[in-house]
Amino acid sequence: DSGVRADSLDKHSNARWPRQNSLSMKEWDIPYDDVKIFEVIGAGRFGTVCRGSWHGAVAVKLLHVLPLSDDGSLLDTFKHEVSIFRKTRHENLVLFMGACMKPPRLAIVTSLCKGMTLYTHIHLRKDKFTANKSVLVAQQISQGMGYLHARGIIHKDLKTKNIFLESGKVVITDFGLFSVTKLCFGNNARGDSLGIPSGWLCYLAPEIIRALRPHASLLLPFSKATDIYAFGTVWYELLCGEFPFKGQPPESIIWQVGKGVKQSLANMQASRDIKLTDADEFKAQLLVSRL
């Protein structure tokens, strides 16, 4: 198992898949016909998630694969991302079970999350999270993310839609899938326009906002720090019940975040331990890495 770090994926996405690795990848290859696909749970930007059955209940994420490029780079990127997934085992991370790797049917098979996402709790049901409950949730997110980071894996798409709450237990999904999904997305972008999915901007750190260009999604400077910024947005949602920069147009958010302007915490009703000032930011990063 030669192992591939997520943060080095983009540089190698065009490299041919090493032979030894392709042998061990076979262990995770699930023939598409072996998976029973039931109803659609939901459709995201790049794939449709269905309830399925493969040795028990599973979630199957079917990727919307656009016409494949001849050099096989999409398939290589997909396999790289599967190689990240298969090395993750943590209580707060969704269980990866395997993948259907024969184009045009690319799919990821994971355990089926019960419960609802934090997004549903906070933004649709308007459930209130006490400070204590928020800390318990945030602590579990930090533990799952800390594990990913310790393994050199950057999530790249941490958001409340990708965090499930199952009877108080946090389960993080969708890590390591950003490149392949954005590769599809990149092909989808029209002309010089910058397609920004709604609800995505407020998770993007200033350095990513400043790097946004049409068709540049694979070159965005994701890092552990940008994951921590996204975690900050989740923390804000938990405490305030809304997104930072709520109701503001994308252009305004891009301009403010790119300039380093932050959402004001003046109206947030929380203790000082929770409302961190600029000077506390470094301490916060340390705190997150220790949790």
110 binds ligand ATP (CB under 6 A): yes
Point out the catalytic residue in the list 157, 192, 273, 280: 157
* Member of 4, 49, 122, 201 binding ligand ATP (CB under 6 A): 49
Nearer to ligand ATP, 112 or 274 (CB): 112
123 CB-contact burial (10 Å; exposed 0-12 / middle 13-18 / buried 19+): middle
* Member of 17, 21, 44, 215 binding ligand ATP (CB under 6 A): 44
Q: Where are the alpha helices (DSSP H) in 86-205?
A: 118-119, 131-150, 178-188
124 binds ligand ATP (CB under 6 A): no
47 binds ligand ATP (CB under 6 A): yes
42 binds ligand ATP (CB under 6 A): yes
Tell me whether residue 157 is one of the annotated catalytic residues.
Answer: yes
Scored b (16 or more CB within 10 A) or e, 17-49 reads beeeeeeebeebebeeeebebeeeeeebebbbb
174 binds ligand ATP (CB under 6 A): yes
Token pair of 74 as six digits? 């999409």
Nearer to ligand ATP, 46 or 85 (CB): 46
Rg (alpha carbons) of the chain, rounded to whole number: 19
173 binds ligand ATP (CB under 6 A): yes
- Residues 89 to 108 in contact with ligand ATP, rule: CB under 6 A: 94
Q: Which stretch binds ligand ATP (CB under 6 A): 39-47, 69-77, 142-150, 221-229?
A: 39-47
**What strands, in cross-sheet order, belong to the sheet with 105-111?**
36-43, 47-53, 57-63, 105-111, 96-102
d(CA 63, CA 189): 17
CA 68 vs CA 55, 65, 179, 180: distances in Å? 30, 7, 15, 12
Contacting positions for ligand ATP (CB under 6 A): 41-42, 44-47, 49, 59, 94, 110, 112-113, 117, 161-162, 173-174, 197
Annotated active-site positions, please? 157
